[in-house]
Amino acid sequence: MLLNGIGNSLKNNQKMSINTICCIGAGYVGGPTMSVIAQKIPSVKVIVVDVNQARIDAWNSENLDELPIFEPGLDAVVSEARGRNLFFSTDVEGAIHEADMIFISVNTPTKTYGDGKGMAADLQYVELCARQIAKIATSDKIVVEKSTLPVKTAEAIKDILENTGTGVNFEILSNPEFLAEGTAVQDLETPDRVLIGGDQTESGLKAIQALVNIYATWVPKNQIITTNLWSSELSKLTANAFLAQRVSSINALTELCESTGANIDDVAKAIGTDSRIGPKFLKASVGFGGSCFQKDILNLVYICKSLGLDEAADYWEQVIIMNNHQRSRFAKQIVTSLYGTVAMKKIGFLGWAFKKDTNDTRESAAIYIADKLIDEHAQIQVYDPKVTAVRMHSDLNALNSRTEAENSKFLEIHNNPYKALEGTHALAVITEWDEFKAYDWQKIYDGMLKPAFIFDGRNILNQKMLESIGFIYKAIGR
Q: What is the footprint of ligand UDX within residues 163-222 (CB under 6 A)?
A: 177-181
Nearer residue to ligand UDX within complex by CB, 179 or 460: 179
Smallest distance, Å, CB 137 to ligand ADP?
15
| The entry of ligand UDX, ligand ADP, none that residue 51 binds, CB within 5 to 8 Å by partner kind | ligand ADP
Catalytic option among 129, 257, 292, 304: 292
Choose the stretch contacting ligand UDX; rule: CB under 6 A; options: 137-145, 163-171, 290-298, 433-441.
Answer: 290-298
Choose the stretch contacting ligand UDX; rule: CB under 6 A; options: 14-22, 220-228, 286-294, 410-418.
Answer: 286-294
- Binding residues for ligand ADP, total number by CB under 6 A: 21
Q: What is the footprint of ligand ADP within residues 401-430 (CB under 6 A)?
A: none
Q: What is the footprint of ligand ADP within residues 68-127 (CB under 6 A)?
A: 92, 105-107, 125
HEC string for the chain: CCCCCHHHHCCHHHCCCCCEEEEECCCCCHHHHHHHHHHHCCCCEEEEECCCHHHHHHHCCCCHHHCCCCCCCHHHHHHHHECCCEEEECCHHHHHHHCCEEEECCCCCECCCCCCCCCCECCHHHHHHHHHHHHHCCCCEEEEECCCCCCCHHHHHHHHHHCCCCCCCEEEEECCCCCCCCCHHHHHHCCCCEEEEECCCHHHHHHHHHHHHHHCCCCCHHHEEEECHHHHHHHHHHHHHHHHHHHHHHHCCHHHHHHHCCCHHHHHHHHHCCCCCCCCCCCCCCCCCCCCHHHHHHHHHHHHHHCCCHHHHHHHHHHHHHHHHHHHHHHHHHHHHCCCCCCCCEEEEECCCCCCCCCCCCCCHHHHHHHHHHHCCCEEEEECCCCCHHHHHHHHHCCCCCCHHHHHHHEEECCCHHHHHCCCCEEEECCCCHHHHHCCHHHHHHHCCCCCEEEECCCCCCHHHHHHHCCEEEECCC
| The entry of ligand UDX, ligand ADP, none that residue 105 binds, CB within 5 to 8 Å by partner kind | ligand ADP
Using rule CB under 6 A, residue 52 touches ligand ADP: yes
Smallest distance, Å, CB 399 to ligand UDX?
18
Using rule CB under 6 A, residue 317 touches ligand UDX: no
Smallest distance, Å, CB 236 to ligand UDX?
8
Q: What is the footprint of ligand UDX within residues 231-260 (CB under 6 A)?
A: 240, 243, 247
- The binding site for ligand ADP (CB under 6 A) comprises 24-30, 49-52, 55, 92, 105-107, 125, 128-129, 147, 291
Residues catalogued as catalytic: 292
